[in-house]
């Protein structure tokens, strides 16, 4: 990649105000290095490089993740630019995930984005990763109108968000402990499955009976969630069964996966239904890595059609971490001229506002 160096960053080129805006975005908050390009809110490219290095450790190793981002970022950026068939000079703004995430991983993406903004003399846009998951629902042709609700279920977060506009998002419910993705991954670990276990539970659950085993359902007030009790309930159940039958897990894997998945889905949708009834909002979305789960997608669609609500689910490539969602979020910030300073720093934790 060749970049033109321009030291006049104190006065980046005047943005056009949204018409035909070409946004280049980088996502590097966890273990996916991704770059995307969008023009006027339409995705032209979305390139994602995963990191296999973590599989043998049973979870993401932060230091290894930042090293892999360092190796991946230049080829990923290059691929996204080529896929979009654009020249660097055409870009109107550079966006990046500022928070939340692993700090070493975030720093790779943020430093790269800042360097590009400085070299190209273009404005910089800092994006909140969880807000971007919500707005991934605005990528497809079929989009929700405002106001809408979004159940965001990822590896680190579980939230119900009320969106009054693309830039007015409010969390109205969230997990008090583990996230839904963690509940999937930790349960999978108890079953001896490798990381990330969510997609494997989904796969085995397809051949299982979700009513076979019953696991604890938390009794939490309001719109908040809790998943730590479920993990403990699965652990004690398995310990007891394995004492009598050493092959219990192998012999019941599909039913165990289906029952665990079933319980996670009922916990999620019970609260989501309550949120819809309380707010009276009938446009309902899901987002985040766990929204790739086939059982959740089906149960969510069923719940919406039974209640005459409109259901929106992003295509698979926009459910797990991706830069397209960063680009679309940045597009709305671009219209509002909500730009970041070069002194903006990445942050592991994020405030919502």
Residues at the contact surface with ligand KG4, assessed by CB under 6 A: 30, 154-156, 181, 184-185, 196, 198-199, 202, 288-290, 292-293, 320-321
Smallest gap, in angstroms, from Cβ of residue 40 to ligand KG4? 26
Comparison of 154 and 159: residue with beta carbon closer to Zn ion:
154
Smallest gap, in angstroms, from Cβ of residue 152 to Zn ion? 8
E-assigned strands of 78-183?
93-99, 124-128, 148-153, 158-165, 168-174
Residue 314 binds: one of ligand KG4, Zn ion, none (C-beta under 5 to 8 A by kind):
none
Tell me the HSE value of 134 on the side-chain side, using a 13 A CA sphere. 32
Comparison of 123 and 155: residue with beta carbon closer to ligand KG4:
155
Whole-angstrom CA distances from 178 to 155, 169, 265, 287 are 9, 22, 14, 17
Smallest gap, in angstroms, from Cβ of residue 106 to Zn ion? 12
The CB-nearest residue to Zn ion is: 154
Q: Contact positions toward Zn ion, by CB under 5 A?
A: 154, 321
At 107, which helix (H) or strand (E)?
helix 103-120
Smallest gap, in angstroms, from Cβ of residue 344 to ligand KG4? 21
d(CA 210, CA 268): 16
d(CA 58, CA 67): 18
Is beta strand 33-39 parallel, antiparallel or unpaired with respect to 283-287? unpaired
Comparison of 199 and 218: residue with beta carbon closer to ligand KG4:
199
Q: Which residue is it, tokens 């506002």? A: 353
Smallest gap, in angstroms, from Cβ of residue 287 to Zn ion? 9
d(CA 277, CA 271): 10
Comparison of 30 and 124: residue with beta carbon closer to ligand KG4:
30
Residue 292 binds: one of ligand KG4, Zn ion, none (C-beta under 5 to 8 A by kind):
ligand KG4
Residue 100 binds: one of Zn ion, ligand KG4, none (C-beta under 5 to 8 A by kind):
none
């Amino acid at each position: 990649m060749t970049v033109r160096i321009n030291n006049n960053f104190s006065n980046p080129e005047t943005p056009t105000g949204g018409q035909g805006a070409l946004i280049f975005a980088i996502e590097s908050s966890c273990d996916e290095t991704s770059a995307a390009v969008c023009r006027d809110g339409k995705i032209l490219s979305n390139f994602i490089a995963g990191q296999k290095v973590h599989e043998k450790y049973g979870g993401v190793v932060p230091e290894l993740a930042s090293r892999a981002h360092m190796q991946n970022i230049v080829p990923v950026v290059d691929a996204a630019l080529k896929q979009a068939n654009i020249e660097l000079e055409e870009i109107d703004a550079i966006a990046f995930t500022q928070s939340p995430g692993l700090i070493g991983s975030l720093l790779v993406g943020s430093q790269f984005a800042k360097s590009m903004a400085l070299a190209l003399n273009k404005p910089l846009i800092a994006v909140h990763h969880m807000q971007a998951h919500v707005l991934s629902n605005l990528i497809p042709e079929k989009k929700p109108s405002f106001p809408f609700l979004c159940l965001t279920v990822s590896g680190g977060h579980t939230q119900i968000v009320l969106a009054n506009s693309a830039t007015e998002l409010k969390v109205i419910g969230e997990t008090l402990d583990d996230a839904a993705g963690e509940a999937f991954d930790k349960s999978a670990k108890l079953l001896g499955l490798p990381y990330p276990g969510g997609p494997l539970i989904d796969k085995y659950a397809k051949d299982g009976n979700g009513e076979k085993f019953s696991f604890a359902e938390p009794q939490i007030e309001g719109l908040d969630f809790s998943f730590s009790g479920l993990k403990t309930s699965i652990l004690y159940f398995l310990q007891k069964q394995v004492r009598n039958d050493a092959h219990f897990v192998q012999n019941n894997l599909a039913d165990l996966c289906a029952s665990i998945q079933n319980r996670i889905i009922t916990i999620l949708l019970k609260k989501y239904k309550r949120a819809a009834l309380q707010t009276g909002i009938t446009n309902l979305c899901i987002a985040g890595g766990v929204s790739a789960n086939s059982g959740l997608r089906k149960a969510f669609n069923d719940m919406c059609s039974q209640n005459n609500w409109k259901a929106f689910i992003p295509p698979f490539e926009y459910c797990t971490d991706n830069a397209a969602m960063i680009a679309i979020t940045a597009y709305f910030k671009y219209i509002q001229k909500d730009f970041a300073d070069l002194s903006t720093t990445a942050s592991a934790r994020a405030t919502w506002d």
